[in-house]
Structure 1
Amino acid sequence: MENYDVFGLGNALVDTVVSVDEAFLEANKITKGVMTLVDAKSQKRLLNNLETKKKELRSGGSAANTMVALAHCGGTGIYTGKVSADINGIFYKDDMIRTGIHFEVEPAKTGDTGTCVVLITPDAERTMLTHLGISTGLSGIDIDPEKIKFSQIAYIEGYLWDGDGTKEASIRTMEYAKQFKKKIAYTYSDPFCVSRSRDEFLKLTKEYFDIVFCNFEEAKAMSEKENPEDAVRFLGELCSTVFMTHGKEGAYYFHEGEIKKVEGFPVKAIDTVGAGDCFAAGALYGLTHHLNLEKCCRLGNYLASKVVQVVGPRLDEPIKENIKKIVG
């Protein structure tokens, strides 16, 4: 097996990205700015209501978006998630491979591939409605230790902690990474995800994680601190390296007792989907290519600033030729 920078583990969802107005959210009784889990019937009804609107389809899921952005940087990755052998599952695999990320998971013979409808309002806020479908069928048996053995970092998304099988897959990945002395990077994914599992996340952070990715809202939920530096310091006392994004303010990192804020790139955001995922990609690229933490943060900020200027969670162009110029 060839070597990879990052092994990624997360939900495998086909994203449907659509621009809507505030009235659409109100008419459909949708809570703005968060990820809401829905059943197949509700998702179908929503898609019917969006039938006349322009849509953008992508292979998605939080960790998958990070892996794709990593490839845009010139990094290498291999991804594990669960899809079905339906038309969305075929699209998902083909789209991931097109981006340069290896995806070799055996599809399920039954069930539906998961979907995520991403609604973008004029203020650039993103609201997600997710039908997890067969992605919840991911379990420990789907984790190939060889893929982790030949990767520098194992990157896991926090959303997986919500299901028994996906939790098992997460733990199996962590155990293999420890066995092979690989770094474990974890994203807390969402403030509500943190609220549901805070005690377990605290334990995992202390016992397993080498690197944590979060935004300020997630860090507040974990630390119960209102100040950004206090929040990131709290997490830094549990694991060796923390990256915390803070919107247009930029990002903080904590390592070996040092906190540093790295300014963001001022841009006009039209869609915040994928900002945190792309930040993680920039930092992971830096970590696997021997950049210091400030440069990792700067590259992450740059990728986040680029993705918020387009609709959807993907960068619109490769940036690998410009990385030296970006990080200085």
Structure 2
Amino acid sequence: MDRTITVVGHAAIDLLFDVENIAVHNESHPIINYDQYYGGGAANIAIAIAILGGKAQLISAVGGDFASSGYEAELEKYSVDLSLLYRFHEEKSTRAFVFTDREHRQSTYFHWGASVKLKELEPDEVDFVHLATSDSTYNAKIAKKAGFVSFDPGQDLVTYSKENLECILENTDILFTNRHEIQRVCDMTGKSLGDILNMIETVVVTYDASGSKIYNNGIEITIPVVPVKALDPTGAGDAYRAGFLLAHTRNFPLEVCGKIGSVVASFAVQNIGCQTDLPTWEVMKARYEENFGNFPEMN
């Protein structure tokens, strides 16, 4: 039976705008088109795990508009466990506003909404937790309680205090970062990459089109990207983590976990929207075999 993966962080509504130009002070430019999608790193990962056939639980703070937005029904459609969701009816749910011009330059505004309440809360004990972008105080609290901790600070790393970051790292079993974030983790803690690798059993660093590297007990494993025609890179990292973590709970070797993560990420970039084209386990296996050969049996 699958182990439940609890994912902590944002369930955000993403509003993506195509504009002529990014406005600066005292300017106004026309919006060419805009679309609304369901997003937020934690919810992206939870839904991807559920579509793959795993057991996902979401811990997030949501506002009174969460049900009327349709997002709650979307998560329930995929059987994501919402029993630990925090509901603040007087608050708005989290939203991201992303403006992209014709030169593909972006300007992003993020409204935390109900998520600002997380720092005041005392988390429940959970078995296997993945800490996505979220409030650092809450993440530090739950990291000390969980049986197994996966941590992805993401873009919220700049909001972390050194104390909270070190507390989480001391309790982390798997650390996910990109090449910029791992350097920032080192700078914030005063540790070298070697110190981090000695401290945490498994560290996964993504390198955009160059794939990812998995560091584990002195071993370095290189994972290539799965080549597809990419329309939108947003959500690729979340999809990678979902595939990797589900494979990890199913006791696949780390190299296979990384390859599964890479395959799931290839689906996420094929369409606009982080949750638009995520694969089932069988669909993932077919593409895995197209790129990496025979799919291994579960241990």
What is the TM-score of this pair, normalised by structure 2? 0.83
Is residue 2:142 matched to residue 1:173? yes
Q: Higher relative CO (CA 8 A, sep ≥ 6), structure 1 or 2?
A: 1
Number of residue pairs the alignment of both structures matches: 283
Aligned residue identity for 1:200: E
Per the alignment, residue 237 of structure 2 pairs with 276
Distance in 1 separating the partners of 2:48 and 2:104: 20
Is residue 2:286 matched to residue 1:321? no
Residue by residue, what CA displacement relative to the aligned partner does 1:204-237 show, whole Å, maximum 9, x if unpaired? 354111111111111122235xxxxxx8655322
Distance in 1 separating the partners of 2:222 and 2:193: 11
What is the TM-score of this pair, normalised by structure 1? 0.76
Q: Per-residue deviation at 1:251?
A: 0.5
User: Which 4+ stretches in 1 moved above 4 angstroms?
Assistant: 87-90, 120-127, 231-234
Partner secondary structure for residue 318 of structure 1: coil
Partner secondary structure for residue 16 of structure 1: strand
Per the alignment, residue 41 of structure 1 pairs with none
Partner secondary structure for residue 88 of structure 2: coil
**Sequence identity percentage:** 22
Per the alignment, residue 97 of structure 2 pairs with 117
Q: Match for 1:249 among 176, 188, 210?
A: 210
Distance in 1 separating the partners of 2:177 and 2:186: 12
Q: Match for 2:52 among 56, 63, 73?
A: 73
Change (3 A) 1:140 1:108: same
Change (3 A) 1:271 1:124: farther
Distance in 2 separating the partners of 1:157 and 1:308: 19
Per the alignment, residue 32 of structure 1 pairs with none
Distance in 2 separating the partners of 1:303 and 1:94: 23
Q: Per-residue deviation at 1:185?
A: 0.6
Per the alignment, residue 43 of structure 2 pairs with 64
Unaligned runs of 5+ in 2: none
Residue by residue, what CA displacement relative to the aligned partner does 1:97-131 show, whole Å, maximum 9, x if unpaired? 12331223252131212211234556777653211
Kindly indicate whether the alpha-carbon contact (under 8 Å) linking 1:232 and 1:252 is maintained by their aligned counterparts in 2. Answer: no
Unaligned runs of 5+ in 1: 30-45, 162-166, 225-230
Distance in 2 separating the partners of 1:120 and 1:49: 12
Q: Which of the pair is proportionally richer in helix?
A: 1
Kindly indicate whether the alpha-carbon contact (under 8 Å) linking 1:232 and 1:244 is maintained by their aligned counterparts in 2. Answer: no
Aligned residue identity for 2:254: L
Kindly indicate whether the alpha-carbon contact (under 8 Å) linking 1:252 and 1:259 is maintained by their aligned counterparts in 2. Answer: yes
Partner secondary structure for residue 143 of structure 2: helix
89-98 vs 239-248, greater mean Cα deviation? 89-98
Per the alignment, residue 83 of structure 1 pairs with 62
Is residue 2:263 matched to residue 1:298? no
Residue by residue, what CA displacement relative to the aligned partner does 1:271-290 show, whole Å, maximum 9, x if unpaired? 11111111111110111111
Distance in 2 separating the partners of 1:85 and 1:49: 31
Per the alignment, residue 10 of structure 2 pairs with 11
Partner secondary structure for residue 311 of structure 1: coil
Change (3 A) 1:232 1:292: farther
Q: Cα RMSD over matched residues?
A: 2.9
